Amino acid sequence: MALAELAERIVRESPDLEVLTPAQFGIICFRVRPRGMTSEESLNALNERVNARVNRSGFVLMSSTRLRGVLSLRLCIPGYRTSTEDVRQVLELVRRSITEEMSQ
């Protein structure tokens, strides 16, 4: 659970990410929300693309869900061997994926 709380802190510190549900039971739900992008349809599509890109990396399998109609990236950290560095690397992969998607 502490790793999900770490992920929540990192997401809260990231200007292009938004916490949708606080960390609970090792899970954090968040989404990509770049400044200036307000269309829910565009945000949902961007989050779907970022999720797919993250998963194609083979580093992690991140799921998604819908919360109140909003597509949410769902990071679940159940593994006892998962480290703080792993969590940081996943969120850095999310940030790189945002950059790559926004530059296309």
- pLDDT, residue 79, reads 83
Exposed e or buried b per residue across 15-45, where buried means at least 16 C-beta atoms within 10 angstroms of its C-beta: ebbbbbeebeebbbbbbbbeeeeeeeeebbe
Average pLDDT across each block of 10 residues of the chain; the chain has 104 residues. List them in order: 96 97 96 95 97 96 94 92 96 97 90
Task: Please list the residues that pair with 65 across neighbouring strands.
Answer: 72
- pLDDT, residue 104, reads 83
Which candidate, 77, 88, 83, places its Cα nearest to that of 29?
77
pTM for the model stands at 0.93
- pLDDT, residue 35, reads 92
Domain range for 96:
2-102
Give the CATH number of the domain where residue 61 resides.
3.90.1150.170
Per the structure, the count of domains in the chain is 1
